[in-house]
Amino acid sequence: MEIRRLGFIPGEHVRRETLFHVANGYLGMRGSFEEGTPPGVRSVRGTYINGFFDSSDIHYEEKLHGFASIQQSIVNVIDTQGISLDLDGEAFSLSAGKVRDFRQVLDIETGVYTRSLIWTSPRGKRTEIVFRRLASFILPSLALIHAELKPLDWSGAVRLTSSQRGDVLQDSDPNDPRKASVGRKMLRVTSALEQDGAMLMTAETLHSRLTMASAVSHRWQGGFTIGHRVGEMISEAMLVGRVKAGEAVSLTKYCVYTDSRRFEDPAEQALELLGQALKLDFPGWAERQSEYLDRFWQRAGAQIKGNEPLDASLSWSMYTLLASAGKDGIGNIASKGLSGEGYEGHYFWDTEIYMFPFFLLTSPDIARDLLRSRAAMLPEAIRHAREMGHEVGALYAWRTITGSECSAYFPSGSAQYHINGAVAHAFLTYWQVTGDLSFMAEEGAEVLIQTARLWLDAGHWQAGQFRIDSVTGPDEYSCIVNNNYYTNRSAQSHLRGTVKLCEALRNNGMLREAQERTSLAEAELDQFRHAAEAMYLPFDSDLGICAQDDAFLSKKRLDLSQIPKERFPLLMHYHPLFLYRHQVCKQADTVLAHFLYEEGEDEAAIRRGYEYYEEITTHDSSLSECIFSMMAARTGRPEKAYDYYRRTAALDLEDTHGNTADGIHAANMGGCWMGIVFGFAGLRLHWNGLAFRPCLPDKMEGYSFRLTWRGTGMQVLVQGGEALFMIQSGPGLELSVYDQEYRVEYELRVPIKANAGET
């Protein structure tokens, strides 16, 4: 499967830099041109290490207690992308001469990005030029760039200049709250040298004082001689030789990155890893990459039948999620992955709600690493809770890199307490799907207990009900509200799940360690139970729907049809208070709660709630349409679900939100996968097994996907009027389809019901 773009279109270049980035969860490199960008063409030339950040003070003219004080931003690290070509005295550039057969292709089965073209120089000499790249999943510190050129009608001298640059800046936009406002320098080069053919450069962030190193070396085919020039900010390797018409020559550039969050001695260990990397040529690393991805697709493959664009988007989404996810317990998944600087490389609840399910059901080891990353942030979450006035418990930061709150706007930042529920949901579903009680005892229990305590301190009792005031739900167009339905529902699930886990740990003789670490008392578990059972969930009996919060349905309804298209997204054109005073939703909120926590909810209320909130939701957030797609399928509207799904799948590949240049929308990619599995197939995770409600839109021939449940690998295929469930590895399992229980040892076929969501 490939993502392909033809022809050089200057206005699309910065967006294509995002689409054709290469990454592996530790290291990401945007698809910038090796030789540089033609004059006047916007480019965001960037390379990023997951979780490698610089910090700065947040300045307030009127700062109050507990406001976030330190900003963290992902760093655009040392640039090793540069390779310039001098072909018989003419510098290769897309701004000179003529270009034909220009192609950009990302092969998601090998993880190799290729840019190829035929360049006719100003003097009329034609050369075939091919650049290939990969970021290794096998050796995560390694990125490779392979340049190959073949003169078609000339012979002569060639010079290739490979650069390593420390003079990098951050991307910025002072008018976009989703990006840094100032394009500042975050990195100071501390040393540059050449050693045995390797160019080594070290650097330190200006404020966080993290250190990193990049080590670069080269291998080539052709009669080249090499020389090096090392400067304070720029190091270069120059390869000089001669070529003959019709004969290809090539250069492979090995780029190794290390950082002080993972390595004790980044410089020394970068050189060691570079030595390992040099043992294989580019085809060798590409072959190992292909083998890794083949194993990944064997357990995670999903397909949409009869619609190539949708299928390509689904495959690209899954591949890019894999490329974005931290796999070392330190890095998590930034909202833009490792493809750009939008949202400054921060981790949000996006990971747990939108992206974690993909890994949980296909690659549980990666899911566990993501949870380890959150567990490592627990001390900061405890500190944050104290800053917010809570004497007990832990409150995870709304946006962060290491765990401290980085949002300067608390109404839609720190007030989003529901991130605790998201983190808890991920830990609980991990236990549910894997049965890994040992991990829960070692790391999960402490996170769940400390975050559950926060709900008891944040909420209060009134008339026998447990209520939570002054919070912000997922819908950021309504802030600081009382009893946000989504927040209260997630808190209820969190409290119940924590009690259930502690009971399971006690029954297996594994609770004592968690009790010692948290000083958990039996009385607290009783408080958790009591608060969960008495949780207030606002409901409007006149409309027959769950109310988004206590006041939402009493506000004036904003008529979205009267707002010009150019004034969307609303957050870019209206003051927050204007939005807070109206019934208008940025994204799914109560509808999202009905997706995640449907148990015990009235079916008619779910359907009516979908209809009501759909009319007032702008989908200004990329997190929204995938949820409405899944819930359209859930409520018996498969064709509407398809329309929402198509827009979800098109978001980045067609740049429908107009900001793909800033990086991928990683949560939306998770939604692209969930839209098939949780949407059309209707999967829900129950404590006693898997439950499905499959449907098939008329515009879709079929779909299939693979998943793992407690050691059993299964494939689901929906087409031709039936759903087929096939055991591929491991023991049989119990599942339900349309609320009918089955035991599957080999395969199960069930006819698809029309309007299945209405059952």
Q: Is 34 a catalytic residue?
A: no
Q: Is 276 exposed, middle or buried (0-12, 13-18, 19+ CB in 10 A)?
A: middle
Report the distance separating Cα 573 and Cα 477, nearest Å. Answer: 13
Alpha-carbon distances, residue 602 vs 480, 541, 546, 597, 616 (angstroms) = 27, 12, 10, 12, 22
* 212 DSSP β-pair partners: 203, 259
What backbone phi and psi angles, to 5 degrees, belong to 405?
A: -70, 130
- The number of helix segments (H) and strand segments (E) in the chain equals 20, 34
CB contact set of 278 (below 8 Å; sequence gap of 6+): 217, 219, 254
Alpha-carbon distances, residue 670 vs 301, 398, 456, 587 (angstroms) = 14, 19, 31, 16
- Indicate which residue of 476, 524, 614, 625 is catalytic: 476
Report the distance separating Cα 57 and Cα 72, nearest Å. Answer: 9
Quick check: 751 and 737 in contact, CB under 8 A? no
Quick check: 332 and 351 in contact, CB under 8 A? yes
Quick check: 151 and 244 in contact, CB under 8 A? yes
Report the distance separating Cα 33 and Cα 129, nearest Å. Answer: 12
Report the distance separating Cα 288 and Cα 308, nearest Å. Answer: 27
Q: Which of 578, 583, 577 has its CA nearest to residue 560?
A: 583
HEC secondary structure over 473-516: CCCCCCCCECCCHHHHHHHHHHHHHHHHHHHHHHHCCCCHHHHH
The residue assigned the tokens 């018409």 is: 245
* 213 DSSP β-pair partners: 202, 258
Alpha-carbon distances, residue 656 vs 523, 568, 646 (angstroms) = 52, 12, 11
DSSP structural state of residue 381:
H
- Would you name the residues annotated as active-site residues? 476
